[in-house]
Amino acid sequence: MGKKNGRMKFPRSEKVEDHPAVVCTDIIGQTEAFTAPRGRLEMGGLLLGHVDQKGNNVAVCGFFPKQTEESSGYCEFNGMYNAIAAAACDYANETVKGEEIPKLRIIGWIHTHPDIGIFLSGIDVDTFRMLRNQCHNRRFMAVVVDPLRGEHGVFLTERQSRNFNDADGMFALNQELEGRYHALLDRLRSIQKERGLDFLPCILPGHLRGKRNAMGDRDDIEIELRKGFFQLKKRIGQLSSNSNQTVQDAKQAITRLQNQLEVMRKENREIRQKTNDLIEEKTHAVQRLENLEAKLLSIEKGIPDLKEMQSEFNKAINLIRTENVKTMSTIQQEIIESRLRFRGETIESVKAVIRGARLRAKMYTDEQLECVREDLRFITKGEIDITTTKNTLLTPRTVKIMLQQEKLENKE
């Protein structure tokens, strides 16, 4: 029997009343004392009790059997312990007879939640429902104890997983009923002796613990407390023996940290210096950028004036080009006119010479006429330099003839 991962299906039971529960506070304290040394391992067990005259489910004692599985969130023990507990109750009921004495029975289930608080998990709810369904009139309680936080809770039903009561039950047992409980505890102790402490590690005598100790019964709670005390003492001794080494290691670690810190400080100083240099360089760069920006702004402001000057310059160039074109055209025209005029004057001069020559031809000899013809051919062929004066238009032959003619005229 235990807490399983996953839901289990059980036959639907008739709706019955959830009976009040009375739990001896000594059971809570004994559970905390026995399970606290286990740390965060959960542990489960059974509660034994009776139904009083008021109809309350009363838990007087119990036990923790061997756990088949145990962890920080799960515990389980074999279902045969239910049969062992029921048989022990029957033994006590038969040993101490009496019709008016309440029958002892399994009255509840107890388990721990180390350091996780008081509640019923989904698995707890299934386990609680199964155990209640196995009991007559579903008279069964569930008790959860957190031994590390010192908390506990008594649950009357599986339908309210976070609704619980405190174990504040204080009650007195009459002589006959107390005798039955002693018979029950004796039976459990004999099973423990026969099967060993591993089989039945702890018996919870509840408020009968003092009387059981006086009777010479074994006190599982005290033994566990002493075991836990000696374990704690041993642990303290180990910690003490290790403390010197720990201190030495700590000193060495501190020395290493100091050396590392000094190296880090040196690196920080270098980084700080580099940072300052970078800041200064950045400042200069920013200043240069600002100066460039100012120059750009000045240039941008002068751009309209430059554009205006360029426009005027282009206009002047265009005007000069236009005037040059006109001037060149005028000069070319004047040159052409001058050439034409000079050519005309030259032609007129030649014609005048020819007319004079014709007038004198009558007086020329044949040789002179031949010279004149040659000159005419020369003139007709265009071998005249129009850039020369009028006198240079005559060939040497013509000049010679003209000189001879003048001599003749002078003689006459």
Q: Which three-class secondary structure state does DSSP give residue 2?
A: strand
Residue 7 — pLDDT band, cuts 50, 70, 90?
A: very low
Domain covering 21-218 assigned CATH 3.40.50.300 in the classification: no
Phi, psi of 162 (to 5 degrees): -125, 15
**pLDDT tens digits for 272-325?**
888 888 888 888 888 888 888 888 888 877 777 777 888 888 888 888 888 777
Q: Looking at this protein, which amino acid is placed at residue 339?
A: R
Q: What angle do CA 86, 91, 92 make, to 5 degrees?
A: 100
Task: Find tokens 């020329």 and name the residue.
Answer: 364
Residue 14 has pLDDT above 70, yes or no: no
In this structure, are strands 151-155 and 67-70 parallel, antiparallel, or unpaired?
unpaired
Q: Which two tokens stand for residue 282?
A: 């950045």
Residue 359 — pLDDT band, cuts 50, 70, 90?
A: confident
What pLDDT score does 350 carry?
76
What pLDDT score does 253 carry?
80
Residue 368 has pLDDT above 80, yes or no: no
What pLDDT score does 353 carry?
77
In this structure, are strands 141-146 and 105-112 parallel, antiparallel, or unpaired?
parallel
> Cβ neighbours of residue 140 under 8 Å, at least 6 residues apart?
57, 106, 107, 108, 109, 128, 131, 132, 134
What pLDDT score does 331 carry?
82
- What is the overall mean pLDDT for the chain? 83
Residue 3 has pLDDT above 80, yes or no: no
Residue 161 has pLDDT above 80, yes or no: yes
174-188, 268-282, 320-334, 380-394: least confident range: 380-394
What pLDDT score does 197 carry?
95
Task: Find tokens 């957190």 and name the residue.
Answer: 146
Contact 98, 107 (CB under 8 A): no
- Per residue, the 3-state secondary structure of 18-79, as one string, reads CCCEEEEHHHHHHHHHHHHHHCCCCCEEEEEEEECCCCCEEEEEEEECCEEEECCCCEEECC
Contact 125, 99 (CB under 8 A): no
**pLDDT tens digits for 219-271?**
999 988 887 654 555 555 555 566 667 777 787 888 888 887 888 888 888 88
Instruction: Using alpha carbons, select from 210, 197, 181, 216 the residue that is nearest to residue 47.
Output: 181
Contact 98, 173 (CB under 8 A): no
The residue that leads in pLDDT, 205 or 371, is 205
What is the rounded average pLDDT of the residues 361-390?
61
The 8-class DSSP code of residue 110 comes to: E
Residue 385 has pLDDT above 60, yes or no: no
Cα distance between residue 110 and residue 145, in whole Å: 8
Integer angstrom CA distances of residue 291 from 296, 301, 303: 9, 15, 18
Residue 16 has pLDDT above 70, yes or no: no
Residue 137 has pLDDT above 60, yes or no: yes
Burial class (CB in 10 A: 0-12, 13-18, 19+), 62: buried
Q: Looking at this protein, which amino acid is placed at residue 313?
A: F
Cα distance between residue 261 and residue 298, in whole Å: 54
Cα distance between residue 12 and residue 9, in whole Å: 9
**CB hemisphere CA count around 215 (13 angstroms):** 15
Phi-psi region of 295 (alpha: psi -120 to 50; beta: other; left: phi over 0): alpha
Residue ranges covered by each domain of the chain: 21-218
Residue 156 — pLDDT band, cuts 50, 70, 90?
A: very high
Residue 23 has pLDDT above 50, yes or no: yes
What pLDDT score does 11 carry?
46
Cα distance between residue 16 and residue 46, in whole Å: 22
The 8-class DSSP code of residue 109 comes to: E
**pLDDT tens digits for 77-131?**
999 999 999 999 999 999 999 999 999 999 999 999 999 999 999 999 999 999 9
Sign of the Cα torsion 222, 227, 231, 234 reads: positive
**pLDDT tens digits for 37-72?**
999 999 999 999 999 999 999 999 999 999 999 999
What pLDDT score does 236 carry?
54
Contact 47, 59 (CB under 8 A): yes
What pLDDT score does 335 carry?
83
Task: Find tokens 């008790």 and name the residue.
Answer: 143
Task: Find tokens 């109750």 and name the residue.
Answer: 89
Sign of the Cα torsion 78, 82, 84, 85 reads: positive
Contact 72, 147 (CB under 8 A): no
- What's the pTM? 0.56
Contact 378, 395 (CB under 8 A): yes
The percentage of residues in the chain with a pLDDT greater than 90, rounded to a whole number, is 46
